[in-house]
């Protein structure tokens, strides 16, 4: 069905704009007038199918958590102030500077105006809104607390955005150091070392083993760099293909969790995210089994994902959440212990939020400690390589000067 972009005026002369679906211009014009909007400009854009293909090929399937959190917070504020749902959606669409967000909320508003519930309209935009978002909105609509639910959603999304920003900021410096160091080494081995080793070859004397090793490595890289590149690309493609298989994904994820520093960091991040997501869903009134299923889908590590799936089956059969998580023997023990205390006291949501806060704090400490080890290690490795190159160049010069 064609998608139209419109601009117009309402009964009070206020400007209105947005996106609307319709079989044709006349039908869309009648539909807008029935909504109290008199279009002054109406132009056809892409079809729904072309929009989905565009999202697929541009990679913009989901909004960044920060942008979605800001829009959700704005919606919650407008609804709390007594604004009607369709007007709130229209306001968010009009005031958004993000084109994808504006188009999406305009499309959702159009469906709501036609009588569709908000969560069903959002379900039609699953490439934008995650299952957690849609299910919490449904609970908020059913309970009549949509504005409060959206405030909880905004809190959750903002927390996730902050956590992601902290991790990205912490990893920015090591990545920059790696790129700069690699560039320096490439420059040395491609432009500087070959000229110097060519001069050393002309010396009529026995060269020390560091110099011979440097000449051998330089000659090999100069002659076979293309082979190394092909081998590297082939290895990456083979690893990606293996990881895309069910067995490969499970084994590589298990290997990552066993990695001394990286594995602990991923486990802490995943546990904090799982606990906070589950707590947010339960606090909003989502049933435990459904909340576990939604929280499981947010875990990208296959080992942790299957552990939650096993725990969900155990809970479905009558087991407690704490015992089910403990039996998986994958998550940190404190998660099961805190869950047990929450089940006994009837405050499971609060206890899950506490464990999430704890593990997020431990994540910050783990990142700090990892960087404190990584930075000197990178300097040591790069300094060792540069020192070896300098030593290999200076040794024959010293020998020649002493012989002379």
Q: What is the pLDDT of residue 386?
A: 82
Highest mean pLDDT among 98-102, 128-132, 233-237: 233-237
Residues linked to residue 41 through DSSP beta bridges, in sequence order:
7
Q: What is the pLDDT of residue 57?
A: 37
Closest among 160, 309, 331, 287 to 340, alpha carbons compared? 331
Please state the separation of Cα 377 from the chain's center in Å.
28
pLDDT digits (tens, 9 = 90+) for 174-192: 788 888 877 877 777 777 7
Which SS3 state, helix, strand or coil, does residue 284 take? coil
In 94-185, at which residue ranges do the beta strands (DSSP E only) sit? none
> How many CB atoms are located within 10 Å of the residue 13 CB?
7
pLDDT digits (tens, 9 = 90+) for 51-97: 443 444 334 455 677 788 888 888 889 888 888 888 888 888 888 77
pLDDT digits (tens, 9 = 90+) for 337-385: 999 999 888 889 899 999 989 998 888 888 888 778 877 888 888 888 8
Burial-class residue 79 by CB neighbours within 10 Å (0-12, 13-18, 19+).
buried
Tell me if the pTM is above 0.85.
no
Burial-class residue 260 by CB neighbours within 10 Å (0-12, 13-18, 19+).
exposed
User: What distance in Å separates the CA atoms of residue 313 and residue 303, rounded to the nearest whole number?
Assistant: 16
Tell me which of 86-90, 277-281, 282-286, 395-399 is least confident.
395-399
User: What distance in Å separates the CA atoms of residue 9 and residue 68, rounded to the nearest whole number?
Assistant: 28
Better-scored residue on pLDDT, 121 or 401: 121
Q: What is the pLDDT of residue 222?
A: 77
Sign of torsion over alpha carbons 55, 59, 65, 66: negative
Average pLDDT on 118-124 reads 84
Evaluate whether 29 touches 42 at the Cβ level (below 8 Å). yes
User: How many alpha carbons lie under 13 Å from residue 316 in its C-beta half-sphere?
Assistant: 11
Q: Is the pLDDT of residue 234 over 90?
A: yes
Query: What is the band of 41 on the pLDDT scale with cuts at 50, 70, 90?
Result: confident
CA triple 228-233-234, angle to 5 deg: 95
């Amino acid at each position: 069905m064609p998608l139209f972009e419109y601009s117009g005026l309402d009964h009070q002369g206020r400007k209105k704009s947005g996106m609307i679906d319709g079989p044709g211009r006349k039908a869309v014009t009648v539909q807008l007038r029935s909504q109290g909007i008199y279009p002054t400009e109406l132009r056809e854009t892409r079809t729904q199918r072309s929009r989905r293909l565009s999202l697929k090929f541009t990679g913009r399937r989901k909004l960044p958590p920060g942008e979605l959190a800001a829009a959700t917070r704005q919606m919650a504020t407008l609804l709390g102030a007594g604004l009607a749902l369709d007007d709130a959606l229209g306001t968010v669409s009009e005031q958004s500077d993000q084109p994808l967000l504006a188009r999406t909320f305009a499309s959702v508003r159009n469906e709501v105006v036609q009588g569709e519930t908000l969560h069903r309209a959002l379900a039609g935009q699953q490439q934008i809104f995650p299952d957690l978002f849609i299910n919490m909105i449904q609970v908020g609509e059913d309970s009549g607390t949509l504005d409060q639910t959206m405030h909880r959603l905004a809190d959750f999304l903002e927390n996730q955005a902050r956590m992601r920003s902290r991790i990205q900021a912490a990893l920015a410096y090591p990545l920059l150091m790696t790129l700069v160091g690699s560039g320096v080494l490439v420059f040395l081995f491609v432009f500087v070392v070959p000229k110097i080793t060519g001069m050393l070859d002309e010396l009529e004397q026995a060269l020390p083993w560091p110099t011979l090793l440097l000449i051998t490595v330089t000659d090999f890289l100069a002659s076979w760099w293309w082979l190394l590149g092909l081998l590297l690309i082939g290895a990456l493609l083979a690893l990606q293909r293996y990881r895309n298989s069910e067995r490969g994904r499970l084994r590589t994820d298990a290997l990552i969790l066993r990695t001394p520093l990286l594995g602990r960091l991923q486990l802490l991040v995943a546990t904090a995210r799982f606990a906070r997501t589950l707590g947010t869903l339960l606090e909003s009134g989502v049933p435990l089994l459904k909340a576990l299923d939604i929280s499981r889908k947010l875990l990208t590590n296959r080992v942790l994902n299957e552990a939650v799936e096993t725990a969900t089956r155990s809970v479905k059969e009558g087991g407690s959440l704490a015992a089910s998580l403990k039996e998986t023997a994958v998550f940190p023990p404190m998660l099961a212990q805190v869950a047990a205390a929450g089940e006994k006291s009837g405050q499971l949501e609060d206890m899950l939020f506490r464990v999430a806060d704890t593990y997020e704090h431990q994540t910050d400490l783990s990142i700090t400690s990892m960087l404190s080890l990584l930075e000197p290690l990178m300097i040591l490795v790069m300094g060792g390589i540069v020192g070896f190159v300098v030593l290999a160049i200076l040794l024959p010069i010293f020998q020649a000067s002493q012989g002379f």
